[in-house]
Copies of this chain bind each other. A is one copy, B any other.
Amino acid sequence: MIIVMKTGAHESQIQDVIRRIEALGYQAHIIQGTQRTVVGAVGDERGKDRLQSLEVMPGVETVVPILHPFKLASREVKGGKSIVKVGDLEIGGPAVVVMAGPCSVESEAQILQTAQAVKAAGAKVLRGGAFKPRTSPYAFQGLAEEGLKYLDIARAATGLKIVTEVVNPMDVELVATYADILQVGARNVQNFALLKRVGEVGKPVLLKRGMATTIKEFLMAAEYILSEGNYDVILCERGIRTFETSTRFTLDLSAIPVLGKLTHLPLFVDPSHGTGQWDYVAPMAKAAIACGADGLIIEVHPNPAEAQSDGLQSLKPQKFQQLMDELRPLALAVGRRL
């Protein structure tokens, strides 16, 4: 950490800061500027959080951290990229992986029909929510365990892997019984109780970025899961909240190269939630692959106008098929394959 003193800080204040740095187990190095004194705190990074509190001391202007606060998620620490294995499926490898399916599991017929369609188009993982985090208490809340059972049937019928959301720490074990990949949704990215539980249960996790989560906070959320010993975490950009209202969220695709520099974890993009409108899904899916995403998660519904949730952002199976066909040459053009 770098502690910047105020202009005109007293020598005694500087000495107090040095004493406090040393009391916390660091070495203090002083740089005497022409206008300000700067003190560097050198040492093991544990307890850095406490160093931040030096900002309260008299004469201190600001405290600037030097190291990133995440460790297990760090690419620098690991030294390369990770592949998350879900059975025989590799996520984060040379092949781009597409997950697809409806927002909510609504019936056995609906999920089976969708599963067959997305499988035929080339998806490897079936998505579908059984526990739905809905903004309104009056909206459809999902079929719960019944929905999980329909997903199980669809898996048996198609061989697709299953990704489905869990919203309550109490349900993690139940959902893990059915799912191949547990999804933690955007609204729960800082639900630390949930993060710890999905860390403990040991299944691969698709962690979505929250609508106001910085890149650093996102990696710290992943760190919660990793620090429980679960290294199979996939990060998913799904749009952030900005002033722009012509899309439901603003898909922050630059998060892909930024995260790619900082972390070894595989990186996904959700162009359905990220835009909120089906006719923007294809262009943004292409853009995601072009800038280096390891995969996509896309909403597909056989009859969007009748969907219980998020119909507006769902592709019909035929449009999804067309998108997959268009993604293939694009993936090749950036050295990947679908």
Number of A residues contacting the other chain (C-beta, 8 Å)? Answer: 103
Partner of A284, one of B52, B53, B188, B257: B257
CB contact under 8 A between A31 and B36, given known A53-B304, A253-B251 = no
Contact between B34 and A40, CB atoms less than 8 A apart: no
Give chain A interface residues in 22-50, CB to chain B under 8 Å: 29, 31-36, 38, 40, 42-46, 49
Contact between B67 and A36, CB atoms less than 8 A apart: yes
- Interface hit among A122-130, A156-164, A240-248: A240-248
CB contact under 8 A between A214 and B192, given known A290-B286, A291-B284 = no
Partner of A34, one of B43, B69, B312: B43
* Chain A interface SS verdict (over half): mixed
By a CB distance below 8 angstroms, the chain B residues around A7 are 76
Whether a CB of chain B sits under 8 angstroms from the CB of A174 is no
Whether a CB of chain B sits under 8 angstroms from the CB of A261 is yes
By a CB distance below 8 angstroms, the chain B residues around A326 are 334
Most chain B beta-carbon contacts within 10 A, residue among A136, A190, A287, A330: A287
Contact between B220 and A136, CB atoms less than 8 A apart: yes
CA distance A43 to B274 in the complex (A): 32
A139 to chain B: closest residue by CB: B49
CA distance A190 to B66 in the complex (A): 32
CA distance A173 to B66 in the complex (A): 41
- Interface hit among A54-62, A89-97, A111-119, A175-183: A54-62
Whether a CB of chain B sits under 8 angstroms from the CB of A169 is yes
Most chain B beta-carbon contacts within 10 A, residue among A34, A56, A168, A220: A56
A330 to chain B: closest residue by CB: B333
By a CB distance below 8 angstroms, the chain B residues around A168 are 169, 193
A133 to chain B: closest residue by CB: B192
Contact between A312 and B56, CB atoms less than 8 A apart: yes
By a CB distance below 8 angstroms, the chain B residues around A214 are 243-246
CB contact under 8 A between A311 and B53, given known A137-B227, A215-B246, A254-B284 = yes
The 6 closest A-B pairs by CB, nearest first: A212-B212, A290-B290, A168-B193, A287-B287, A283-B291, A287-B291
Can you name 14 A-B pairs with beta carbons within 8 Å? A53-B306, A64-B64, A135-B190, A167-B192, A168-B169, A169-B169, A170-B170, A188-B191, A215-B244, A215-B246, A250-B254, A253-B253, A330-B333, A333-B333
- Additional 15 contacts, C-beta under 8 A, given A35-B67, A257-B279: A31-B31, A34-B45, A52-B312, A57-B305, A167-B191, A167-B193, A169-B169, A215-B246, A253-B284, A254-B280, A257-B284, A258-B280, A283-B291, A287-B291, A333-B333
